[in-house]
Each structure stands twice: as structure tokens, then as C-alpha cells.
Amino acid sequence: MSWSGVRRLLPWLLATWFIVISAMRLVVIGPGGPGFDGRLYRSAAVAWLGGADPWQVVQGGVYFGAPPPSLLPMVPFALLPETVGVGALLVLGLAGSAWAIRRLGLPLWWLAFPPLVDGMWNANPHVLVLPLILAGLAPLATILKVYAAIVPAVRLELRALVLTAVALVVTAPFVPWALYLSERQTISERLERTAGGGLSVWAIDQPLLPIAVVLALVALAVLVRRNRERAAWLAMPAFWPWTQWYYSSLAIPAIVGDTATATGLVAMLAAAILAIPLEGGPVIALAVVAFGPPLVERLGASRPAWREARAHGTLRTPNP
């Protein structure tokens, strides 16, 4: 098969990779039913509205651990019966993800991207962050999940950052920041246990951690210079503490591309890496997208010369 044929086959291979891994994940978490995270977020909002401590809400051994602003978007769902509220979160997650995939001009099989499937099945509000940012609503996305601010920060979108700061200040009196800060140490410890150390650069054990941090920072700097847009979407899963698998769904805009280009080829490799819950996987994907295109372009540039030499009989091979 020619290289052009292989290139055309790669999207199908990636789609198959996504579907197989997602199916394996659903076999594991499927018996528990959908909406685990959605129920936890809704229950925390119910507790807060009732005057209780939302960070003492626990479900299946998992404590609620999101910052206070995340409670506000859950209020409408808390006012609904649990089945209806969680069902609404599931539907919104699927609809928002499908809209984001189409907005990015991607085939619908990207809905099978395993981190996205994990988030949608669990009705985690995280899956709404990508469509909100794509819709120009980064401040609302940050209220929902505070780490969403990393995307406009790397993009240097001053207006979005100012509006985000205003939104956080305006909503601060309505959410229990004082209670959250008083329990911050306990909440952090619970998050670390729940995430099992996470998947970001901070999950890498000593003595490799300093090397990994330097590599990640260099890769981010290189990618910011070459393609700030891709860097913005990859920065959060690579650097946020306690990164969980579904966080990588935010990186979708950075890991797509035309297989006819070097950037598109390495983006597909990054997508395949992020499709599995690999410790340090987001950092590896960041490095691949940052350093991969020049290497692929160099290899591609050498192919015509090699073919010409072979055609003219000037390509020497070692004697057996």
C-alpha cells in the first residue's frame, strides 16, 4: 500500500481506536448506570441551598470537590427531581458535545473520543466547557469549571479574561468561599485520592518529575510560538493538578488536522495517546504536537531524494 493510501486509512484506524476503548470503558462503568458525576454535583447544590456543607456530600466514596462557583450553574438542576435533573445534564452534555464536534467541522465519530465518552456518560459538567468556549462564553465556562480560564489566558484574550474576572467577583458574595477556603486542605487531599494522582505532569513520580516539568514547559513555549491556538487547548490537561481522564476532551481542537500535513499527522498521534488514561499522557501529547511536525516534515522532505536516487540506480545499499 502506498503512503497516500495509508494516510487515507489513518482516520478510520483512529475512529476504531476510539470506539474500542470507549466500549471497554463502558463495560466497566456501564453497570452502575449513567450520571454518577451529575448526581454528585446536583446533590452538592441541593445541600448548599439547604444550608449544609456541599463539600461533605459523598457518593460512592467520592466527595464533591469543585470550587464554589461551580455550584451556581447546578442550581436549576437542584430544583428539579433528581431523575429529571441528572437526565437534563446527560442530554445537555450529549447535545453540547455534538454541537462542538460539528462546530469544529469534525466527523461525528469524534463523539466516541474516550475522554469525552467518559464525561458524557457520567454527566460531568466538564463536557459543557468546550462548547461554551467555542460559543464565545468563556466567562460562563469558567464559572462552571474554573480551569476553563486557562484557554483564553493562553490565547491572550484580554476581553474574555476581564469578563471572567468580573463574573467571579460579582458571584463571589453568593457562594460559600469562606467555607471552601477553611476546608481547602481536606478538599485537596480528597481530590488527590479520587484522581489517584491524576494524569498531568504533576502525576509523574520523582526523580523524573523535574525533568518532566521542564520538558512540558519547553513544549508549551514551543507550541505557543508555533501555534498558540493548539497550545491553549492542551495546556490545561497537561498542567492542571489532579487531571482526570475526561479533562482531555477539552484538547479536541488541538488534536485534529488534515492527514496530508505534518501537523495533522502528529495531531492524530496525540489523539491516540489521549484516548487512553495514561499517566503523563497529556504531557506526551503536548510534546508530540509541539516537536512532531518539524520531524515529520524533515522525514517527508527526504523521501523524494531517496526515490530519485533509487530510480537512477545511485542509491547504495550495504552488501549482505
Q: Which of 165, 194, 223 is where one domain is finished?
A: 194
Integer Cα distance of 134 and 73 in angstroms: 18
Q: Judge if 215 and 296 occupy the same domain.
A: yes
- Omega prior to 282 cis, within 30 of 0: no
**All 3 cell numbers of residue 79?**
430544583
Q: Judge if 169 and 201 occupy the same domain.
A: no
Structural domain for 10, as ranges? 1-194
Q: Judge if 248 and 289 occupy the same domain.
A: yes
pLDDT digits (tens, 9 = 90+) for 143-179: 999 999 999 999 999 999 999 999 999 999 999 999 9
| Assigned domain for 46 exists | yes
Q: Which of 194, 220, 254 is where one domain is finished?
A: 194
Q: Judge if 54 and 130 occupy the same domain.
A: yes
Residue 63: beta bridge partners?
A: 58
| Assigned domain for 318 exists | no
Q: Judge if 169 and 209 occupy the same domain.
A: no
What does pLDDT average to in each consecutive run of 10 residues of the chain (320 residues)?
70 96 96 96 98 96 96 97 97 98 96 98 98 97 96 97 95 96 95 87 91 96 96 97 94 91 92 96 96 86 50 42
User: How many domains, in total, are found in the chain?
Assistant: 2
Predicted local distance difference test score (pLDDT) of residue 102: 96
Q: Judge if 129 and 22 occupy the same domain.
A: yes
Q: Judge if 49 and 84 occupy the same domain.
A: yes
Q: Judge if 233 and 175 occupy the same domain.
A: no
| Assigned domain for 319 exists | no
Q: Judge if 189 and 202 occupy the same domain.
A: no
| Assigned domain for 320 exists | no
Integer Cα distance of 79 and 86 in angstroms: 11
